[in-house]
Chains A and B, each alone.
Chain A
Amino acid sequence: MANLPKPEELSEIDFTPPKTGWMDTPVEFKPGMFCHGSKPKSLQTVEFPNPRDWKPADADWKLPENWKEIIIEGIADRLKKYRSFRLFMDICVRCGACADKCHFFIGTGDPKNMPVLRAELIRSVYRKEFTKAGKILGKIAGGRELTLDVLKEWWYYFYQCTECRRCSVFCPYGIDQAEITIIGRELLNLLGLNIEWIAGPVANCYMKGNHLGLEPHTITSNLEYMLDDIETVTGIKINPSFNRKGAEILFVTPSGDLFADPGTYTAMGYLMLFHELGLDYTWSTYASEGGNFGFFTSNDMGKRLNSKIYAEAKRLGVKYIIGGECGHMWRVIHQYMDTWNGPADFLETPVSPITGTKFSNAKASKMIHIAEFTADLIKHGKLKLDPSRNNHLKVTFHDSCNTSRGMGILEEPRYIINSVCNNFQEMPEDTIREKTFCCGSGSGLNASEDMDLRMKGGFPRANAVKFVHDHHGVNMLANICAIDRAVLPPLMDYWVPGVGVTGVHELVANAMIMKGEKERTTDLRGEPLPGKEKKEESE
């Protein structure tokens, strides 16, 4: 982050469009605004085309000779396969309602970051190649030739979209830029044009079961560290099981939670909750990834990575699956998994063994969100909670894009937070729930070389946090997303210093009074609990 401009400079945004029309303004690759290109090894691992060493800023992208043909055929193929794509190519009226809804446009002022114009980048080629008017009239009818410059423009701007769907909430026809970006990236992948930050995790996940490439023994040892920490804080020794056949429940969560804080605190929260309940569940090292960077690559790749969850559930003979806190993971679980890799007829409709609640909303996919599970527990009074342990926190909640606009899990996490914390404050209403702003780093853009882009894209989110920080003293940003837990801390440090980031189940675990626990003096982070500060000093 050393080269980043200061926040005051970054927030000076020029919204004046260039003098030249957008078709005549060539793309300029600005440092800090894009990620490294995919490495050959990552592509080879998953049998993707055109593996080679290349750099996005280079003039020569080492494309196959018939690259144009490949793309045009790719478009034709997808027009036949996706009504969404065909429709979204045809019906946009360019009213501009989506324009200032995109966090990347708000943060950069670049007109090609308006969802409508990002879509026009591909739509213009569609008009030229696939409509009569475009073929005959060309530019007058809004058509343009697919050239190398256009391809580079696609790459630059389809990796400046986090597939957050905020634009689609405001579009009168529901045109979803995420859908266009998804297909745009799929087309680019036909030429080996992924970013390494996605291609690497995809290869890892394919071979090792998770994005981070944690091998089985590393997963167990990472969890050991957490168990030690839990014992230090609570005096309770937990013994979770891995790859255990005959467990009632398989638990799947994003691997980010096993690797770095503050995600690890959330994982400790899961461990403590399940232990307290005496839940008959198992972790898996094979299906050790809830997230799915394949979803940011292509439909096939998403399906290939996702297949492990049902396959492992079947192998272990569990009854159903609980999924941890993650954003795009839940878009995939909720809207794609059953279609891709179902039917899950070898599983049963999830029933909470503690409350007896039947989750008929998941009767086909057999997978429930841990926030649904925990909210139900709390509602039935099954957890002993002391919310005052979180009294030093003034919490606000960031709705993740995918869970709000691709699922709608809005009240469950709020109910949990309000049960385990005494101080909760919502951000302004135009920045939460279905209108929530992206963290700026979703859809595989959470690399370190694109920090400018991330800070710009995260600006609207951070600005809303700053509002409640300044006016209500908010000092903790809760969320139910592993990418959020990884990317919001640097975003807060940059725009709103003094605000921490936490998963919801970290808050739960801190408030939960466990059977046989010793008197807690610190929270999971090892920081003194409210009222215990003095005691610590005197000891």
Chain B
Amino acid sequence: MRVLVSFIIVAVLALIAYAGVQAAHMTTFFGIIVPYAAFLVFVAGVVLRLWQWGRSPVPFRIPTTCGQQKSLSWIKQSKLENPSGTLGVIGRMALEVLFFRSLFRNLKTQLKDGPHIAYGEAKWLWMAGLAFHWSFLIILVRHLRFFMEKTPVPIQMIEGLDSFLQLGAPLLYMTDAVLLLAVTYLFLRRVGIPQVRYISLVNDYFPLFLILGIAVTGVLMRYFFKVDVVSVKILAMSLISLTPAIPEQEIGALFYTHLFLLSVLFAYFPLSKLMHMGGVFLSPTRNMASNNRAVRHVNPWDYPVHVHTYAEYEDDFREKMKGAGLPVEKE
């Protein structure tokens, strides 16, 4: 049900764009107005979100420690899993953000007869997640060529590497295939594993289908139903130079569908779980050093609380304390 709803929403979105351009010729709307609006929502939304998170205080230093603490000089500290300083935290965060360190730990827990609990390797989610995010990033970077007069050398190098298999014409980009495979895997595991299906919401399926839609329309354009790439570049250049104009040469409805789904993704991004991209940097269990006993952490909203003082305690128990031979402040 939640799968179907998500699929239908994305399909309808794609149809709206396709029909809007093909039948109603709304190229200005789908080529200029929507992308601009989506970009604005994206930037404003992400900034707002990060500002909201960033200004919320961190009252306690609560890193999740995943290795040996810094204590005695002869005990080897696990500097990346239990960092005690900024360098270690940077290292820990780099591993987390670039290589998904925590997900790499993933295990499969199974109950077997005996009863016996067995723990097995479970790296598929980590692999698919890493493949998905990295190929998405590379594809985004590759697209920058549309926004620049001359394609910069680094982007050319990325393109070269990405197509080094030299398959087909135009050359197959590996990341296109990897992205499609990874998204498909992420979707299949979401519906295939009963527990994961049980927790999945429209909020989870919708972005998957949306990204799948963007990837599929992109692949169709590049490898099967060619659109006029020169005109795409003209449009992109006009958008980025803030002199938007729809090229005279027709680009094709498929392109506008691709662009529209991407715009939806951009606009949806700050409202959704996709903000984990920014959030991961702010996670207090990961981005803080575990040096609480060496460096005091101050809670910005700390306030005094009602305590039961020693004097009150002694008042309650003075006779009993004296009877037990314990020293007292007041006789």
Contact B305 A408, beta carbon cutoff 8 Å: no
A 47-92 contacts with B by CB, 8 A = 47, 79-84, 86-87, 90-92
Known: A86-B52, A111-B199, A114-B195. A245 touches B327 (CB 8 A): yes
B 175-212 contacts with A by CB, 8 A = 193-204
**Is A271 among interface residues, defined by CB-CB distance under 8 A?**
no
Known: A361-B69, A364-B294. A428 touches B119 (CB 8 A): yes
Please indicate the chain A residues that have their CB under 8 angstroms from the CB of B282 in the complex.
Answer: 83, 87
Partner of A312, one of B295, B302, B310: B310
**Is A418 among interface residues, defined by CB-CB distance under 8 A?**
no
Task: State the CA gap A415–B260 with chains docked (Å).
Answer: 62
Write out, one digit per residue, whether chain B residues 74-94 have a CB within 8 A of any chain A CB (1) or not (0).
111010011010000000000
Known: A434-B65, A463-B115. A307 touches B307 (CB 8 A): yes
Contact B61 A412, beta carbon cutoff 8 Å: no
Q: How far, in Å, is B103 (CB) from chain A's closest CB?
A: 4
Contact B78 A408, beta carbon cutoff 8 Å: yes
Write out, one digit per residue, whether chain A residues 329-346 have a CB within 8 A of any chain B CB (1) or not (0).
000011110111011000
**Is B107 among interface residues, defined by CB-CB distance under 8 A?**
yes
Contact B297 A172, beta carbon cutoff 8 Å: no
Partner of B199, one of A116, A133, A372: A116
Q: Select the residue from A208, A285, A342 with max chain B CB neighbours within 10 A.
A: A285
Partner of B321, one of A94, A285, A362, A433: A285
Partner of A334, one of B49, B72, B293, B298: B293
With CB as the reference atom, state the residue of chain B lying closest to A79: B56
**Is A199 among interface residues, defined by CB-CB distance under 8 A?**
no
Partner of A13, one of B60, B111, B284, B299: B111
**Is A30 among interface residues, defined by CB-CB distance under 8 A?**
no
Contact B292 A334, beta carbon cutoff 8 Å: yes
**Is B22 among interface residues, defined by CB-CB distance under 8 A?**
no
Known: A364-B294, A410-B68. A91 touches B273 (CB 8 A): yes
Task: State the CA gap A221–B325 with chains docked (Å).
Answer: 11
Q: Select the residue from A100, A101, A171 with max chain B CB neighbours within 10 A.
A: A100
Q: How far, in Å, is A209 (CB) from chain B's closest CB?
A: 6
Known: A11-B115, A172-B103, A404-B65. A412 touches B71 (CB 8 A): yes
Task: State the CA gap A135–B273 with chains docked (Å).
Answer: 16
Task: State the CA gap A497–B199 with chains docked (Å).
Answer: 37
Q: How far, in Å, is B273 (CB) from chain A's closest CB?
A: 5
Contact B307 A91, beta carbon cutoff 8 Å: no
Partner of A338, one of B102, B117, B293, B317: B293
Please indicate the chain B residues that have their CB under 8 angstroms from the CB of A536 in the complex.
Answer: none
Write out, one digit per residue, whether chain A residues 116-145 have a CB within 8 A of any chain B CB (1) or not (0).
110010000000000111000000111000
**Is B258 among interface residues, defined by CB-CB distance under 8 A?**
no
Please indicate the chain A residues that have their CB under 8 angstroms from the CB of B307 in the complex.
Answer: 304, 307-308, 311
Q: How far, in Å, is B289 (CB) from chain A's closest CB?
A: 12
B interface size (C-beta, 8 A): 96
Partner of B292, one of A22, A97, A120, A335: A335
Contact B115 A217, beta carbon cutoff 8 Å: no
Contact A335 B57, beta carbon cutoff 8 Å: no
Please indicate the chain B residues that have their CB under 8 angstroms from the CB of A334 in the complex.
Answer: 290, 292-293
Chain A contact residues, majority secondary structure = helix
Task: State the CA gap A242–B59 with chains docked (Å).
Answer: 35
Contact A172 B102, beta carbon cutoff 8 Å: yes
Task: State the CA gap A411–B323 with chains docked (Å).
Answer: 43
Write out, one digit per residue, whether chain B residues 286-324 have a CB within 8 A of any chain A CB (1) or not (0).
100011111111110110011111100110110011011
Task: State the CA gap A133–B117 with chains docked (Å).
Answer: 41
Contact B53 A86, beta carbon cutoff 8 Å: yes
Please indicate the chain A residues that have their CB under 8 angstroms from the CB of B199 in the complex.
Answer: 22, 94, 96, 99, 111, 114, 116-117, 120
Task: State the CA gap A340–B60 with chains docked (Å).
Answer: 9
Q: How far, in Å, is B45 (CB) from chain A's closest CB?
A: 11
Contact B64 A176, beta carbon cutoff 8 Å: yes
Contact A101 B109, beta carbon cutoff 8 Å: yes
Task: State the CA gap A311–B304 with chains docked (Å).
Answer: 14
Contact A90 B324, beta carbon cutoff 8 Å: no
Known: A106-B117, A406-B65, A463-B115. A216 touches B53 (CB 8 A): no
Q: How far, in Å, is A216 (CB) from chain B's closest CB?
A: 5
Please indicate the chain A residues that have their CB under 8 angstroms from the CB of B12 in the complex.
Answer: none
Partner of A217, one of B49, B284, B285, B320: B320
Q: Select the residue from B65, B78, B108, B305 with max chain A CB neighbours within 10 A.
A: B65
Please indicate the chain A residues that have their CB under 8 angstroms from the CB of B144 in the complex.
Answer: none
Q: How far, in Å, is A238 (CB) from chain B's closest CB?
A: 16
Task: State the CA gap A361–B53 with chains docked (Å).
Answer: 30
Please indicate the chain B residues that have their CB under 8 angstroms from the CB of A16 in the complex.
Answer: 194
Contact B293 A47, beta carbon cutoff 8 Å: no
Please indicate the chain A residues that have their CB under 8 angstroms from the CB of B323 in the complex.
Answer: 217
Contact A216 B293, beta carbon cutoff 8 Å: no
Q: Select the residue from A99, A335, A363 with max chain B CB neighbours within 10 A.
A: A335
Please indicate the chain A residues that have their CB under 8 angstroms from the CB of B299 in the complex.
Answer: 339-340
With CB as the reference atom, state the residue of chain B lying closest to A428: B119
Partner of B296, one of A244, A300, A312, A342: A342
Task: State the CA gap A244–B326 with chains docked (Å).
Answer: 9
Contact B296 A364, beta carbon cutoff 8 Å: yes
**Which of A's residues lie within 8 Å of B, judged by CB?**
7-8, 11, 13, 15-17, 21-22, 47, 79-84, 86-87, 90-97, 99-101, 106, 111, 114, 116-117, 120, 131-133, 140-142, 165, 168-176, 179, 206-209, 215-217, 220-221, 242-245, 285-286, 299-300, 303-304, 307-308, 311-312, 315, 333-336, 338-340, 342-343, 357, 359-365, 367, 372, 375-376, 379, 404-412, 415, 428, 430-431, 433-435, 459-460, 463-464, 467
Other contacts beyond A8-B115, A91-B279, A364-B295: 17, CB < 8 A: A82-B57, A82-B59, A83-B56, A86-B52, A86-B56, A87-B282, A97-B102, A97-B125, A101-B107, A114-B195, A170-B103, A216-B321, A216-B324, A311-B310, A407-B69, A434-B81, A463-B117
- In the complex, 6 of the A-B residue pairs with CB atoms within 8 angstroms, ordered by the A residue number, are A106-B111, A140-B5, A174-B64, A286-B310, A286-B314, A340-B302
| 8 A-B pairs with the lowest CB-CB distances in the bound complex, closest first | A408-B69, A91-B279, A11-B115, A174-B285, A217-B324, A408-B65, A174-B286, A100-B109
